[in-house]
Structure 1
Amino acid sequence: MENIYNTSSVLVLNRFNLPSETLFPAFLFATLSYMIILFCNLFLILIITLNKSFHQPMYLILLNLPVTDLIGSSAFFIQLIKELLTNNKTMQYSTCVAQAFFIHIYAAGSVFTLTAMAYDRYIAICCPLKYNTVMTNAHVMMIIASLWICNLFLTAILFFLLLQLPRCRSELTNPYCDNPTLLSLVCANTTINNFYGLFVVAISQIIANGIIFYTYLRILIECFRSKRSETKSKALQTCATHLVVFLLLECLGLFTILAYRLRDISPHLRGFIGVSTLIFPPTLNPIIYGLKTNEIRDKMVLFCKNKIFSS
């Protein structure tokens, strides 16, 4: 049986199959999309880090969102652009594993960050008098460190279990590498891997959705109790922004997970949903927060005006 195992470090790519005349337009589109994602997320990072007025708990936690978006989009687009530019039909197995690892870091990190942001808004709106006491710099750093440690630990175990399994296939048809794609190359019992993967997804979803449902329900109740229309409007606007970003990521992520479990779904539809998860949230998140958060929007406008007039 050991003779059937594939020990080659090279994987065969059979996922885009684009006609030669469409390679260059696809390359331009992918490059432009990646540049937009880079610009928007790096701009948001710069606005938060360079302005001391944003060195507050909410913005320090928010800072992790563009970081995770850059990790996920870079893992996808750099490899995609390279394939379109060279029209290469092979890929190193180690490169595929690295891409999958960073894509999972992006997905879990985004969910954990949005959950931490919901907790911050809950303390700010429902317990405003305790906010400065609870959300100290040490507490915020502990929250940020915890979400990254949990993310790295859970993902590392997932890929440790994966790398223990022998491969007997070498053809990749999915538009990008992830754990289910790599498991499809394995010719061994993957029950433990599947169980652990579903366990991590279930636990993270239950915790994230539970915290966000509870915090936003309490925030909504508090807003309706408040007699100050200005406070109510600002709170609802901030929470609506967070909720839109969370629902966008959750819907795309859950559709992607379900698409792997449902055999009748077209591979093209599965690939489109998965790619959408790596394109739309990283593109829209900085735009949504930039336009919907008054303080960030004002700083962005001021920054652009200063650069235009100074030039």
Structure 2
Amino acid sequence: MENYTYNSFVLQLEGLKVAEDSIYLVFFLFLFSYIVFMVMNLGILVLIFIDRNLHQPMYLLFCNLTVSDIIGSTHILPRLLSDLLLPPSERLISYYECVVQAFITHLFGTTSHTVLMIMAFDRYVAICHPLHYSSIMTNKMIIKLTVSAWGVPFVLVGILLGLTIRLNRCRTLITNPFCDNASLFKLSCESVVINNIYGLAFTVVLFIASIGSVVLTYTKITVVCLTSKNKSLNSKALKTCSTHLVVYLIMSLSGSTIVILHRFPQYSDYRKLSAILFVIVPGGLNPIIYGLQSKEIRSFLFKIFHNRKCKQ
């Protein structure tokens, strides 16, 4: 018979199951990944901040994605690294800390979609309405898009976690390396039908909205490129849109994998690894993809390295 502990304020994280002889290897691998991740993302933010040529709507909107990636990795990876060095029985977390971590986890995942949606809108205006771009993508519009990209997820995720907080808890084990909504409401012995319905509706609406906006904008961009004989426009559209599309596909595929694996408890180890890779991989690739694609970023980096060589 299962032992129940009602409404305990101390929870236990199951964490990653790693063989004892591999713990330090996995620890340093994640630590190295986190350091590289932070250096690249903070570097991109600094570059955009100090170089006036990068003070364009595309890069200012991209800053939202970078900030979201930094928040998403920082609230998970340092805690995960410390838990790796502890025995499973000592991987404890308070209930309130777990709720905050779950909130940030879902806020990070949702804003990744909404930010890419507003970036798709920016690409649509730039390519389909180039003459009106400066009048549409004003500083006021950028602020509105940014507030929407963070405000809508904040409200939706707040409702998601609010439905979970109302439940009484009878278990204490979080079957995940970190806290998320599904792991939290699985602690309850009450009916979680409402949670499942809202969570499923939330996920479906988010994916339909993000996929729909990307398909719609890219369809219109494709039509413009096919009907236009402007090679310069087509080349610019191909570069900027392919970059955005690659980032979107990486993020969507990794996020979908976690959602699917949550429905199959027998693959819990794969789900845990996928959840961690969702934090590391898209955020680690974003600055590389945009950095390689961006002529402005490449030229800025070239100037820095060229000046250093000249000084030497």
Question: Could you say what secondary structure the match of 1:82 adopts?
Answer: helix
Q: Which residue of 2 aligns with 1:46?
A: 46
Question: Could you say what secondary structure the match of 1:189 adopts?
Answer: coil
One-letter amino acid of the structure 2 residue matched with residue 13 of structure 1: L
Q: In 2, Cα distance between the equivalents of 1:164 and 1:21?
A: 42
Give 1:91 deviation, angstroms: 2.2
Structure 2: segments with no counterpart, 5+ residues: none
Q: Which residue of 2 aligns with 1:279?
A: 280
Q: Which residue of 1 aligns with 2:133?
A: 131
Q: In 1, Cα distance between the equivalents of 2:132 and 2:76?
A: 42
Structure-2 change in CA distance of 1:107 and 1:90 (3 Å): same
Instruction: Work out whether residues 10 and 170 of structure 1, in 8 Å CA contact, stay in contact via their aligned partners in 2.
Output: yes
Instruction: Work out whether residues 5 and 172 of structure 2, in 8 Å CA contact, stay in contact via their aligned partners in 1.
Output: no
Give 1:77 deviation, angstroms: 0.3
Instruction: Work out whether residues 61 and 119 of structure 2, in 8 Å CA contact, stay in contact via their aligned partners in 1.
Output: yes
| Runs of 4+ residues over 3 Å off in structure 1 | 85-88, 303-311
Q: Which residue of 2 aligns with 1:37?
A: 37
Give 1:306 deviation, angstroms: 4.0
Question: Could you say what secondary structure the match of 1:12 adopts?
Answer: strand
Q: Which residue of 2 aligns with 1:77?
A: 77
Q: Which residue of 2 aligns with 1:12?
A: 12
Question: Could you say what secondary structure the match of 2:75 adopts?
Answer: helix
Give 1:305 deviation, angstroms: 4.0
Count residues with an aligned counterpart: 308
Q: Which residue of 2 aligns with 1:174?
A: 176
Residues 174-223 of structure 1 show CA distances to partners (whole Å, capped at 9, x for unaligned) of 22221111111111111111111112212222111111101011111111
One-letter amino acid of the structure 2 residue matched with residue 221 of structure 1: V
| Residue of 160, 164, 167 corresponding to 1:165 | 167
Q: In 2, Cα distance between the equivalents of 1:65 and 1:176?
A: 22
Q: In 1, Cα distance between the equivalents of 2:252 and 2:76?
A: 19
Calculate the aligned-residue CA RMSD, in Å: 1.9
Structure 1: segments with no counterpart, 5+ residues: none
Structure-2 change in CA distance of 1:89 and 1:262 (3 Å): closer
Instruction: Work out whether residues 16 and 272 of structure 2, in 8 Å CA contact, stay in contact via their aligned partners in 1.
Output: no
Q: In 2, Cα distance between the equivalents of 1:202 and 1:241?
A: 25
TM-score (norm 2): 0.93
Q: Which residue of 2 aligns with 1:100?
A: 102
Q: In 2, Cα distance between the equivalents of 1:146 and 1:184?
A: 31
Give 1:226 deviation, angstroms: 1.8
Instruction: Work out whether residues 72 and 103 of structure 1, in 8 Å CA contact, stay in contact via their aligned partners in 2.
Output: yes
Question: Could you say what secondary structure the match of 2:121 adopts?
Answer: helix
| Residue of 228, 236, 248 corresponding to 1:226 | 228
Question: Could you say what secondary structure the match of 2:93 adopts?
Answer: strand
1:145-164 paired onto structure 2 within 5 Å: 145-164=147-166
Structure-2 change in CA distance of 1:219 and 1:26 (3 Å): same
Question: Could you say what secondary structure the match of 1:266 adopts?
Answer: helix
Instruction: Work out whether residues 127 and 233 of structure 2, in 8 Å CA contact, stay in contact via their aligned partners in 1.
Output: no
Indicate the percent of aligned positions where both proteins have the same amino acid. 36
Residues 211-265 of structure 1 show CA distances to partners (whole Å, capped at 9, x for unaligned) of 11010111111112221222211211110000000011111111211222245x5
Q: Which residue of 1 aligns with 2:195?
A: 193
